[in-house]
Amino acid sequence: MPPALPSSGKKPSPDALLRQARREERGRLKIFLGAAPGVGKTFAMLTEGAALKREGVDVVVAVAETHGRAETEALLDGMEVVPRREIEYRGHRLTEMDLDAVLRRAPALALVDEYAHSNVEGSRHPKRWQDVAELLDAGIDVYTTLNIQHVESLNDVVASFTRVRVRETVPDSVFEGAEIKLVDLPPDELIDRLKHGKVYVPQEASRALGHFFSKPNLSALREMALRRAALSVDRQMLQDLDAGGVAGTYAAGERILVAISEQPGADALVRTAKRLADGLNAPWTAVHIETPRSQNFDEDAKRRIAAALSLAATLGATIATIPSENVIAGLRGQIEAQRATQLIIGRSQRSWWFELRHGSVVETLIRGSKDLAVHVIPSLEAATGEAGWKAWLRGWGQPAAYAGALALIAATTLLAKLIEPLIGGGAVDLIYLVPVIVTATLYGLRSGLFASIVAALAFNFFFLDPIHTFTIADPQSVLTMLVLTGVAAVTSNLAGRLRTRARIGVRSAEENAALAAFGQMLARAADREATAIATCDEVSRLLGVRCVMLAETDGVLSPIVARPREAAMSPIDQAAAEWAWTSGEPAGRGTGTLLASDWQFHPLKTSLGVLAVLGIARDDDGAPVAADKATLLATLIGQAALAHERLHLEDEMRGLSVLEERDRLRAALLSSIGHDLRTPLTGVTAAIEAIGAEYPDARSLLTARAELSRLRRFLDNLIELVRIDAGGVHLSMASVDLTDAVAGVVHDLKDVLRGHHIDFQVPASLPFVRTDERLLHHILLNLVANAVQHGGNAGPISIIGRRTPDAVLLAVRDRGEGLEPGAEPMIFDTFARGKGSDRHGGSGLGLAIAKGFSDALGIGLEAANHPEGGAVFTLRFPPELIVAVVPGD
């Protein structure tokens, strides 16, 4: 980190110093970031680790996935590799990083490959990045690897052009304080490596080139990796500069600031800033500087500020309202704090008299900026002359302030007349400073200046010879008069500024205290209703608005708490609330959606989705939230959303405990029934076979054998269900041809399918899938048997396979009565039976077992009614199970 400049005068940021101290207490994280698999991240990590080991650094390899590449495996020679921990998972012995062994070994540096990896069930943490966090907390430095498509915030963007949804992601917060090393490879070179088998085997490479590894995809991923690395480096640089108290812009990356004023056209400034930020891929902030003039803004001006800040927040900006004595000082402070490189500001059509008194903000900033690019956007609208005069008159305050000043000066004059014989005329002038200071403190600067002039005139009229005239006979008295006026004006100015600073400080302290109390109330709330009551009470009190909290009950979004209780909502208000619920964006008055609503609705959005909607409204026609309260509202909404998320997670944990106990009892019951039936069933089978040997032509034996076979299948299903619940399913993954798999099922069910036509539409060109062939066979057996059972003789049974951009689908369709409307999600529950099950002898286990096996294999299984009649059950093989389609690093 560069040393602080002696002449900068900038103090180190306490927050930056605290972050730096926390980083020094933990290990150092270095991420080798790549655009795609095969660019050489693991190779680069191991190469750097080996070099450090040769320099004497204590380095161990915790995890290294070489994928069979000889040049990568060669780097492990001479390196200490911590043996992995074996975990029994569904009949297979899988290996994971032995976190405890690495912690006991306590090296200076651990090499951990594949940062976004999901650990096997039964590990301490579900994700490897959480294992890495524990290593860092223990003071161990970590080198790791990551592909850009695994960053959580980029997940949707990557899926939009690769057609592949990456399921293993890391939160963006892991980049905080991490060193980023970009491992870059041009798309043409990566494609060449793929063709030569340096990434995948040849048959997989040919498929990959046509899907994930196309040149447009690689170019887009490369750009995202470059931008992400640049963003992380820029943030790290800013933190180091703040911690060192180094002044200057350091414009290695662009940072945009847009200044919002009360003048018309503020929304145009916000949109201009958004376009510039998108073009430069830079973070941006919208800021409004609150000055003493802000107290005199009319409702239209306040509404424009609030609307502009709300629009900026909707477009992705960070918003802030900064109190300051004047706009120039406030903006300069923000520019310095954020080290902004681009400033967007509007040039309003001010009068020459206004600029003479207050100066030109634009001209002052342009003259004083060195490393700042100032974008001046002319205002397309100008305030009318009438509005300008009204604003000018409001700026001088209320008549009551001037009446109060006159009353104070009159009382002071009377008091001075009474005590003049005691103290003499020479000390009377000092008494007149008292009403001037009191007026400036109570009413502000301009009232104080008025009081200073009136006090000087009163002193002249009543105490300077000749009295009762404004004539001054003694030249020394002229000097006294001027000194009194000057001292009174300066004192009034200082008192007015102190009043402004005190008001701003008191307001900030009140807001901070209110937020702290609000957080404590939410922490004590034990249910959603208590949380909603606390939220509505505080929002209503702090913002002076009506407030309503809505949540989904029985599939309908409805109010659960309102302040006041009789707060009513119209149909258009309900529509705006539902829009905020479904879209996750603000709606209603003052937003860009459903402006006719009297309410403004804000979704309580968390990582779990939208959990509730908060509505606010005012009794007058003003904006629901004033500009100086927008940041406070955003903070209140954020805390309320976190409280709802906490309650939601607690409810899920309680529900999981109940489900675990229920499943345990059910598994014990099914296991007991399955084993108790096996022995008598074996005896019955032997008896029937013995009778059949003695009376081979008895027709009743055919019926007995058929029913016995059905009972045996039921018992087998019951035992398989117990195995699924107990996690005893053994997986043997291999590449499977779906055409052969379906043909094998049809052959095994030839007796059951006798008399049924099979419409076989599984093309041989379908790609292989990676799955357990035995379990897949069992799944298809149950689905086809279900189609025979419920399809009857209404038509053929169709088995259809097809390829989509992101999956391979295999569907089994019957021509029966179909599923009951709304029963699709429950049809796979244990002992759930569809229409006609009583007539067809269904037990409700076959589909449950098919669902259990498909979940164990990571295959989606869905049920639906076909538009042309009958039910259709679809197996969805995701990209990671399609051979050579989705690459892995």
More confident residue, 359 or 505: 505
Among residues 581, 443, 578, the alpha carbon closest in space to that of 503 is found at 443
> Are 211 and 261 part of one and the same domain?
no
> Are 265 and 370 part of one and the same domain?
yes
> Are 386 and 433 part of one and the same domain?
no
Torsional sign, CA 448, 454, 455, 457: positive
Range picked from 189-193, 521-525, 639-643 for highest mean pLDDT: 639-643
Q: What is the DSSP string of 41-97?
A: HHHHHHHHHHHHHHTT--EEEEE---TT-HHHHGGGTT-EEPPPEEEEETTEEEEE-
Task: List, in order, residues 6 or more apart from 431 with CB less than 8 Å away.
Answer: 412, 415, 416
Q: What are the structure tokens assigned to 230, written together?
A: 């640049």
| Cβ(259)–Cβ(305) below 8 Å | no
User: Looking at the predicted structure, is the pLDDT value of residue 473 above 80?
Assistant: no
Domain that holds residue 463: 399-501
With respect to residue 518, please indicate whether it lies within any of the assigned structural domains. no
With respect to residue 645, please indicate whether it lies within any of the assigned structural domains. yes
What is d(CA 278, CA 317) in angstroms, rounded to the nearest whole number?
11
- Across 835-860, average pLDDT: 68
Task: List, in order, residues 6 or more apart from 147 with CB less than 8 Å away.
Answer: 33, 34, 35, 36, 37, 41, 116, 889
Rounded to the nearest 5°, which phi and psi values hold at 842? -70, 145
> Are 610 and 695 part of one and the same domain?
yes
Q: What are the structure tokens assigned to 379, written together?
A: 């205002």
With respect to residue 660, please indicate whether it lies within any of the assigned structural domains. yes
What is d(CA 875, CA 738) in angstroms, rounded to the nearest whole number?
11
With respect to residue 162, please indicate whether it lies within any of the assigned structural domains. yes
Enter the pTM of the model. Answer: 0.47
> Are 376 and 449 part of one and the same domain?
no
Cis peptide before 603 (omega within 30 of 0): no
Among candidate residues 665, 685, 713, the one where a domain is terminated: 713
Write the secondary structure of 664-710 as one string of H (helix), E (strand) and C (coil). Answer: HHHHHHHHHHHHHHHHHHHHHHHHHHHHHHHCCCCHHHHHHHHHHHH
Strands 179-183 and 256-260: unpaired
Task: List, in order, residues 6 or more apart from 629 with CB less than 8 Å away.
Answer: 542, 543
Q: What are the structure tokens assigned to 813, written together?
A: 């369709």
Q: Which helix (H) or strand (E) holds 721?
A: helix 699-725
Question: What are the tens digits of pLDDT across the range 390-447?
Answer: 544 455 557 777 788 788 888 888 888 888 777 766 667 778 778 877 777 777 667 7
Q: Domain with 859 in it: what CATH number?
A: 3.30.565.10
What is d(CA 490, CA 436) in angstroms, rounded to the nearest whole number?
10
More confident residue, 528 or 492: 528
Whole-number average pLDDT of the chain: 76
Any bridge partners for residue 809, and if so which?
802, 876
Strands 600-606 and 609-617: antiparallel
**Angle (nearest 5°) at CA 42 between 60 and 24:** 55
User: Looking at the predicted structure, is the pLDDT value of residue 644 above 90?
Assistant: no
What is d(CA 127, CA 346) in angstroms, rounded to the nearest whole number?
48
Predicted confidence at residue 5, as pLDDT, reads 40
> Are 454 and 596 part of one and the same domain?
no
| Cβ(547)–Cβ(615) below 8 Å | yes
* pLDDT band with cut points at 50, 70 and 90 for residue 201: very low
Q: What are the structure tokens assigned to 583, written together?
A: 């879209």
What is d(CA 203, CA 184) in angstroms, rounded to the nearest whole number?
25
* pLDDT band with cut points at 50, 70 and 90 for residue 688: confident
Predicted confidence at residue 8, as pLDDT, reads 47
> Are 566 and 484 part of one and the same domain?
no
Residue 125 CB-density burial (10 A; 0-12 exposed, 13-18 middle, 19+ buried): middle
The CB-side HSE value for 446 (13 A sphere, CA atoms) comes to: 14
Helix (H, G, I), strand (E, B) or coil at 255: coil
Strands 80-81 and 59-63: parallel
Among candidate residues 364, 395, 426, the one where a domain is terminated: 395
Instruction: Give the count of domains, the chain.
Output: 5
What is d(CA 809, CA 866) in angstroms, rounded to the nearest whole number?
15
More confident residue, 163 or 835: 163
With respect to residue 114, please indicate whether it lies within any of the assigned structural domains. yes
Q: Which helix (H) or strand (E) holds 181?
A: strand 179-183
Write the secondary structure of 544-605 as one string of H (helix), E (strand) and C (coil). Answer: CCEEEEEEEECCEEEEEEEECCCCCCCHHHHHHHHHHHHHCCCEECCCCCCCCCCCEEEEEE
Q: Domain with 167 in it: what CATH number?
A: 3.40.50.300
Q: Domain with 581 in it: what CATH number?
A: 3.30.450.40
DSSP 540: H
With respect to residue 517, please indicate whether it lies within any of the assigned structural domains. no
Among residues 862, 749, 841, 832, the alpha carbon closest in space to that of 789 is found at 841
What is d(CA 345, CA 272) in angstroms, rounded to the nearest whole number?
10
Q: What are the structure tokens assigned to 282, written together?
A: 């830079």
> Are 358 and 377 part of one and the same domain?
yes
Question: What are the tens digits of pLDDT across the range 801-829?
Answer: 998 877 889 999 888 888 887 767 677 77
> Are 76 and 90 part of one and the same domain?
yes
Among candidate residues 395, 423, 457, the one where a domain is terminated: 395
Task: List, in order, residues 6 or more apart from 419 with CB less than 8 Å away.
Answer: none
Predicted confidence at residue 141, as pLDDT, reads 92
> Are 700 and 807 part of one and the same domain?
no
Q: Which helix (H) or strand (E) holds 32?
A: strand 29-34
> Are 222 and 269 part of one and the same domain?
no
> Are 805 and 756 part of one and the same domain?
yes
DSSP 150: G
Q: Which helix (H) or strand (E) holds 390?
A: helix 385-395
With respect to residue 8, please indicate whether it lies within any of the assigned structural domains. no
User: Looking at the predicted structure, is the pLDDT value of residue 153 above 50?
Assistant: yes
Question: What are the tens digits of pLDDT across the range 48-107?
Answer: 999 999 899 999 999 998 877 778 888 888 889 999 888 876 666 778 899 989 999 999
With respect to residue 527, please indicate whether it lies within any of the assigned structural domains. no
Q: What are the structure tokens assigned to 875, written together?
A: 């197996």
